[in-house]
Structure 1
Amino acid sequence: MPAQPTRAQPSPAISRLWDISPPVHAGSPVFPGDTAYRQQWSATLGPGCPVNVSAITLSPHVGAHADAPLHYDAAGAPIGDLSLEPFLGPCRVIHAIGRGPLIEWDHVAHAIDARLPPRVLVRTYERMPVDRWDGALAAYAPSTITRLADLGVLLIGIDTASIDPADSKTLDSHQVIRQRGLRVLENLVLDDVPEGDYELIALPLKLTTADASPVRAVLRALA
């Protein structure tokens, strides 16, 4: 198993930047039955070869990722067709640590006011398990998403692998996302991010037929 990486920390050299993406490697946890990360070398440095080139295989839901409507709607758009606007701009980090299994409105109401940005990320873990699958992950209550949408929120995020319980077969929170046209980020690492407002940068790849995309999600302190 690779050595555990340093947790997300603000970098004073880069305008107080928080990296909220978990590491991606062969030991990264995946939803049971999903495709784990795998890397093979197609070419390696040596006599007659001037470069290293690898091939990777992975689910687009490994690590920090953005879901596309295609993930939960047979007629939904793939990730490459989505506007980038929801994935870039002011956001609010709200702590609801240890309040699962569902994040209810009462768990986030303390951080809701008239200046709520259109992006909301909820921290549920004291320490996000970057090295193991958590079948008891916390998820959003569908009613919480509905109320956030009513307030003009365009994107919600969470530090677990899903906005629905891991054993859900109806994906009620994903269906609210579908009905209200919201975007979603999952598997974020918010361990060291204080509650408050930031600039979110979490752009998905332009994968024209995919149901999701990995993102390198970061938060930047607002000026």
Structure 2
Amino acid sequence: MVSWPGDPSPKLIKVLSINEGDACNVTKLEMGVHTGTHIDSPNHFIEGGITTDSMELEVLMGKCLVIEITSKSNVQVSDLCDFEIGKYERLLLKTKNSVHWENDSKKFDKNFIALSLEAAEYLVKSGIKLIGIDYLSIEAYGVSEHKVHHHLLNNQIAILEGLNLSTVDPGEYELICLPLKLVNCDGAPVRAILKDVS
């Protein structure tokens, strides 16, 4: 599984094994909380911000819109204008990033498609409460001020990252996205599923 540069790669470590005479199998999982499909809490970039265990679960479940952005650069306002985004509280962006999940790529792509600051501002004004994207970050690699994260999180927008949308068609769905209840944490792995409502 691909992970952000500098973050620990996921490891499964066998602690107990029936084959070795133990009563049961037990496996230890080691990984960063921003690995794979995960949620960012405000505390990820805002000191004293809401932590994962205090996030409203209602925001993480309900009607959502999946749109496909075909641009080969970061998502701009012009990429979003043709969609009725204001009718939805949850928006998932399927981009060219999805090819990484199709290929099960383990190599980090520094040139992934991300959200521009102007697009983030547009989404806040549209009333979105959750934004998701099909790579490990909503924000471009190598930025120093993290304005996209700050703008979204300061406006209480939940950020869902690392989505595998490779087999998902654009359209309306019900999103069910439940994070691990990690106390006082800046993010958490989630199991995110989309239920077809058409």
TM-score norm. by structure 2 comes to 0.92
CA–CA distance in structure 1, aligned partners of residues 71 and 77 of structure 2: 14
SS in structure 2 at match of 1:139: coil
In structure 2, relative to structure 1, the CA distance for the partners of 1:47 and 1:105 (3 Å cut) is closer
Contact kept in structure 2, 1:159 and 1:188, CA below 8 Å: yes
Which amino acid in the other structure matches residue 186 of structure 2? D
Partner of 2:88: 117
Q: How does 1:121-200 map to 2 (within 5 A)?
A: 121-125=92-96, 127-129=99-101, 130-131=104-105, 132-200=107-175
| 2:176 corresponds to 1:201 | yes
Partner of 1:88: 61
CA–CA distance in structure 2, aligned partners of residues 107 and 55 of structure 1: 42
1:19-50: per-residue Cα shift (whole Å, max 9, x none)? xxxxxxxxx11111111101111100046522
CA–CA distance in structure 2, aligned partners of residues 137 and 67 of structure 1: 18
In structure 2, relative to structure 1, the CA distance for the partners of 1:44 and 1:156 (3 Å cut) is same
CA–CA distance in structure 1, aligned partners of residues 62 and 81 of structure 2: 22
1:160 is displaced (CA, Å) by 1.4
Which amino acid in the other structure matches residue 133 of structure 1? F
Which amino acid in the other structure matches residue 91 of structure 2? V
CA–CA distance in structure 1, aligned partners of residues 185 and 61 of structure 2: 20
1:214 is displaced (CA, Å) by 0.5
| 2:44 corresponds to 1:63 | no
TM-score norm. by structure 1 comes to 0.82
1:181-214: per-residue Cα shift (whole Å, max 9, x none)? 1101001111121111100111111100211111
Higher-helix-fraction structure: 2
Q: How many residues align?
A: 194
Q: Sequence identity of aligned pairs in percent?
A: 28
Partner of 2:7: 34
Contact kept in structure 2, 1:99 and 1:107, CA below 8 Å: no
